Chain A
Amino acid sequence: MSDHAVADGDALASVSDVSRSYGGVTVLDGVSLSVSPGVTAVVGPNGSGKSTLLGILAGVTEPTTGEVSHGGAGARKPIGYLPQRVPFRDGFTARETLAFYGRLVDADPDAALERVGLSDAADKRVESLSGGMRRLLGIAQALLGDPSVAVLDEPASGLDPTMRERAFRTAAERAPEGTAVVISSHDLELVEAHADRLVVVDRGRIAAAGPLDRLRADYDVESVDDLYRVAIGRGDGTGEESAAPAGDDETDGSVHVTGVSDR
């Protein structure tokens, strides 16, 4: 095992050489990643394996091979997770939904609602909430109990721009308190505005990873948008070698992102 695989002292969660296939089709192929406080954005085309990676990171998806480890053992709720599709059971109000989860970790559902600005909708039933409000509720859920890692799978998808911004901001607000916030998104502008670090996933592998500033420098691009294009669109598309930035000494084709504590 490469020494890069060992997370530094700041890493709150890490996956090491994880792969996952569904029905024999490989979705994630030997990925290693560790996350530390701050906002880590995971980007990549549809079907690139982002959601699987996030699921494995959150501990809710079992990798076919590879290791997953979480720091922060001993916390009541080490990880907060919001799946891509907000899953709340119909028939309960927003407040009741959070009360259920809050009761499991001794958290106040009203405070959580307030945090995401849903106090006014507390007594609305989940199924009658708008898509955006549902996402906000999902974010509130994921952040309940102050997890050290919050994994949010596309919290902004399908929302109008204002809502997107609100969703992202709410999630990112946790970062300064020492939480590792992992967000997948297709909205590169928001990523640019809020992310500290970036992971580009393509065809089951990590095409690029690292602090946003460093990646810009490494790839010599101005924006995340350009970075994204370069990281996944360059070369013949196999992405294996081309994905490796020049400055990194990777030999196995995957990228280890170690936490950067320069926040």
Chain B
Amino acid sequence: MFDPYRDRSGRALAALLLFALALAVATGAAFAADPSDAAPSPVAYDDVVELGLSSETDALMAGDATLPRVQVFYSQLQYVVGYNGVESFASALAADRTERQFGYPIAAYVETFDSSRPGVTDEGLFAAELAGEWTPASEAVYVVGSAARSPAGETVVPFRDRDAAAAFVDDHGGAVIGWETLRGRSFDTDTAAVVRETAPRRWSEADRRIASAERRSDRPVSVVVGEDAPTIQAAVDDAPPDTTVVVPPGTYEETVAITKSVTVSGGGTGVDNGSQSGATRLRGDGNGSVLTVRAPNVSVTGLRISGTGTQTRDPEAASRPPEAGEAWDTNIRLGYGHGDAGVKAIGASGLFVDDVTIDTEASGLLLREGSDAVVRGLRVDGTEEWQDGFMGIVGMQSRVTVTDSAFVGGRDGVYLHRADGSVVRDSSFAGNRYGTHLMYTGETLIADNAFRNETFGGITVMTRPAGNAIVGNDVRDSGAGIQASGTRTYVGYNTLADNDLGFSTSARGSLYEHNVAANNGLGARATTVVPSSRVVANDFVGNDVHADAGPGALRVWADDDRGNYWEGADVSAELGLAAPGERAYRPTAPVDAALAREPAAILASESPAATLLDRLRGTVPGARTGGILDPAPSPEPHAPERAAAATDPDGGPVYGDWRGRSDNGTAEPDDATAEVAA
């Protein structure tokens, strides 16, 4: 037994003293050392979490242009953040939110191009032949105002040596500045809020496109099928350009190729008057496409089309890797753009499809190679099983404007591939795989559509495009409501009910607001590893789980003092335990999640232990893992009527009033907008 006074214990005490001294020294060292000192070395850029501009624009993916990149080590964030474009990083530093979420940068490296043979392409884009080197941002110099631009606009080109920068300025203009000066500059980087402001203008632009297509298709009648020509093909062949070929009601079994700018006007689809006897039916032979358009400004109206082939795409081309010199997505374009369709348009800009019904075994309307089209009153009936058929509309490199249309069955209702500036609005989708599916497609407007029973989801945006606006849609009974990736995406005023998943926040630097997620299995899922989006003023009602989160830093879903409405989170306010919005809500915490279904869980969440733990939780959000925190949950739903309508099983679609919020929603679009949109 320990005898406190014997010599042996004296030695033990001496050891204790030494140990205490060692602890004291270690403690002293802990204070002497500066943990922010150790600057990490740059990592492979493939391993960073990208923020800022999309790196997947055409020119960049094709390797024609170069975006100067930055990688940043933030004090609170475990992940290395990559910015495409130095100006993106500079803007991020200027934003309060960045520091609140990630801390401050303990190290930042920019890609410098001293020995990379930097230059400017014919299109005015910055390009470097060789890879850049990583240089600490504060040691680099920057060329601003040169001829070099990025796909998004002005770009800053970093160099390690002032001489190399000066040489670049000699060739391409601009001025050389240091890091501190650069930080002080403000850059016009677009944000999701800008996209929000632009949405009404995109709607108006669509109106103008439709009006213009209507005007274009109003041509004098030159040929009437059955009177002036035996077949539609013959009539089209006979008709002079800029005239109308009239196709009286009846059934026409033929395939038609249109190679001149004419209007083909049928008697209608027979739907309007309740019987199909007055319809003009065009029936193909079950091989290839029924109507093929290879000329600009063609209008096709009032037809019922059927008898397509069953080939959905070119299987060989779809699986073939691109050859040298080809665009990187050639295989997709060749594959997806080469199936059978009711109406197939190749290089046919100005196509107007109005009041047409297509019953198809493959695609309904296939557009490729700049076949910018206006589609109104189109109905596509696809296959029962989505695996058997293909898209309602395939838009390959063709800007599409879709309004008042319906897509039933088949693979995707509207599939757009590199179709920037497209608009899909006032349409309905049911029983597809995806309702609207965008690939590499940005600056679009997806508005006021209704989606029902979509196997995978209502609206999905893949492969990181930028600047899409997804507003006022109503998705129900589907796999997922809205899954949009990319950057600067505005997802607002959508109503998502009875889906497996309401929406996911996959898009970076985006804004998710005023959506109603009601009665979904999961209201919302946070997916990006590094949070960079704002999620505010949404209503979560009646979901099994309001929200969950994938791996990554803590997401703070609120804008200063404005959070979301979480049904159940208001229990503490109702009981007078806390002022409305005072207690933070964590939909990913078991107790808070239980609040949504079991108000008695409030007793656990009000325990002192829980309160103490909650208090400082948002202090270093970047350093914290997983989960979602709403520090200021709203005491009341933002859109109670919409939430009520969404939970009404017999209710029709509801479209959020996304225009009402915007002050300039009804303002006349200026010419610049029209130019940009065109």
Contacts and interface: CB of A to CB of B under 8 A. Distances in A.
Touch between chains A and B, by CB atoms below 8 Å: yes
Taking residues whose C-beta sits less than 8 angstroms from the other chain, chain A's interface range is under 10
Interface stretch (A60-68, A95-103, A197-205): A95-103
B4 interface: yes
Contacts of A100: 4-5
Contacts of A99: 3-6
Interface string B17-42: 00000000000000000000000000
Nearest to B4: A96
Most buried by A among B3, B4, B5, B6: B5
A19 B5 CA distance: 40
A94 to B, nearest CB: 12
Interface in A162-193: none
Contacts of B3: 96, 99
A99 B5 CA distance: 7
Nearest to B2: A96
B630 to A, nearest CB: 55
A103 B9 CA distance: 14
Contacts of B5: 96, 99-100, 103
A99 B4 CA distance: 9
Taking residues whose C-beta sits less than 8 angstroms from the other chain, chain B's interface range is under 10
Interface string A62-99: 00000000000000000000000000000000001001
Nearest to B3: A96
A103 B4 CA distance: 11
Contacts of B4: 96, 99-100
A96 to B, nearest CB: 6
B592 to A, nearest CB: 49
A246 B6 CA distance: 58
A96 B1 CA distance: 11
Nearest to B6: A99
A222 B4 CA distance: 52
Contacts of A96: 3-5
A85 B625 CA distance: 62
Interface in A83-132: 96, 99-100, 103
A89 B5 CA distance: 15
A97 to B, nearest CB: 10
B11 to A, nearest CB: 16
A99 B2 CA distance: 13
Nearest to A102: B5
A220 to B, nearest CB: 54
A100 to B, nearest CB: 6
Nearest to A95: B3
Contacts of B6: 99
B54 to A, nearest CB: 73
Contacts of A103: 5
B192 to A, nearest CB: 70
Nearest to A92: B4
A100 B6 CA distance: 10
A99 B6 CA distance: 9
B3 to A, nearest CB: 6
A100 B4 CA distance: 9
Nearest to A103: B5
A250 to B, nearest CB: 49
A100 B3 CA distance: 10
A99 B3 CA distance: 10
A173 B6 CA distance: 29
A99 B9 CA distance: 13
A78 to B, nearest CB: 23
A113 to B, nearest CB: 14
Nearest to A100: B5
Nearest to B5: A99
A100 B9 CA distance: 13
Nearest to A123: B1
B375 to A, nearest CB: 92
B607 to A, nearest CB: 38
A101 B4 CA distance: 12
A150 B55 CA distance: 94
A96 B5 CA distance: 7
A92 B511 CA distance: 71
Interface in B357-376: none
B12 to A, nearest CB: 15
Interface string A199-221: 00000000000000000000000
A216 B4 CA distance: 51
B612 to A, nearest CB: 36
B599 to A, nearest CB: 53
A90 to B, nearest CB: 14
Interface string B650-664: 000000000000000
B5 to A, nearest CB: 4
B83 to A, nearest CB: 66
Interface in A202-246: none
10 contacts: A96-B3, A96-B4, A96-B5, A99-B3, A99-B4, A99-B5, A99-B6, A100-B4, A100-B5, A103-B5
Given A100-B4, A100-B5, 8 more contacts: A96-B3, A96-B4, A96-B5, A99-B3, A99-B4, A99-B5, A99-B6, A103-B5
Interface of A: 96, 99-100, 103
List 9 tightest A-B contacts by C-beta distance, closest first.
A99-B5, A103-B5, A96-B3, A100-B5, A96-B5, A96-B4, A99-B3, A100-B4, A99-B4
